[in-house]
Homo-oligomer: A and B are copies of this chain.
């Protein structure tokens, strides 16, 4: 077995604070190798206590960065752009203190629906300026990351969440423009299912730059519960020799009533330990079969 499998902290709670450390033992019991923590905001988590609590369970850690319009590499507001660079630098520092080597997410900024912004046309000159600002910011943060032995992983999001990088191709354009050894690509199957013509073709195309992976069912639920072809995804990850981490992000709550916002994060209705254990076992099985076929 070559890939480690982890779980996003938001499965349990958001914000995730010291009172939720009990989740680490549950993640371990469900078969996880690591936890992907949303990068804690200042004062949200004691980093040394968190590191110890993770180590106490033998769990590794990855980090998921959170951007908004006030810290946004794409912003035409110089202060927001600078705050975006400083935020990424702070993520690298936090990674170092927690022992994480990956900070992933939509690091380029420009959130849409979750910032209450509607998609709107972008003039070609402004499109290029936004990309230039992003590349500049990622190069600067990338230097800090390289010095710290941390990698920044750019995640394409679906068209409703950003208008910068939606497809794997968009993400690769950014990574190649940045050209930093500390800046790579991460892929999330929830977004790929919406935006890429073929999930497996995109994984193959991303191979030289792929440094992190999130496995999410088509409806953001538990891997194995929906219609993504997981054996095919696993065979492709093995075929390109991807030996990195794979994070589960089951955000879909078990509530099928009309009028309940599905895009809104909700706390779990009860323990989802059994469902998580099933998804970890399912994914581990498909990966094991896939690697044996290489």
Chain A interface (Cβ within 8 Å of chain B)?
112-122, 127-128, 130-131, 158-161, 163-167, 169-171, 173-174, 193-199, 218-219, 221, 225-227, 256-264, 266
Give the residues in chain B near A167, CB-CB below 8 Å: 256
Q: A193-B193, A199-B227, A264-B163 are in contact. Are A259 and B122 (CB under 8 A)?
A: yes
A-B contact pairs, 8 of them (CB 8 A): A113-B113, A114-B118, A116-B118, A121-B261, A163-B263, A167-B256, A170-B257, A196-B227
Closest to A156 in B: B258
The dominant DSSP class at the A interface is loop
Chain B nearest Cβ from A266, distance in angstroms: 8
Closest to A127 in B: B259
Q: A116-B117, A117-B116 are in contact. Are A261 and B194 (CB under 8 A)?
A: no
Chain B nearest Cβ from A77, distance in angstroms: 17
Give the residues in chain B near A259, CB-CB below 8 Å: 122, 127-128, 130-131, 163-164, 170
Give the residues in chain B near A219, CB-CB below 8 Å: 194-197
Q: From A117, A160, A256, name the one whose CB has the most chain B CB atoms within 10 angstroms.
A: A160
Give the residues in chain B near A170, CB-CB below 8 Å: 256-259
- Docked CA distance A196–B128 (Å): 37
Copies of this chain present: 2
- Docked CA distance A130–B263 (Å): 18
Q: A116-B117, A119-B263, A164-B259 are in contact. Are A221 and B193 (CB under 8 A)?
A: no
- Docked CA distance A263–B161 (Å): 9
Closest to A126 in B: B259
- Docked CA distance A164–B122 (Å): 29
Chain B nearest Cβ from A226, distance in angstroms: 5
Give the residues in chain B near A256, CB-CB below 8 Å: 167, 169-170
Q: From A117, A121, A122, A219, name the one whose CB has the most chain B CB atoms within 10 angstroms.
A: A219
- Docked CA distance A120–B266 (Å): 10
Closest to A219 in B: B195
Give the residues in chain B near A173, CB-CB below 8 Å: 257-258
Give the residues in chain B near A261, CB-CB below 8 Å: 119-122, 159, 163
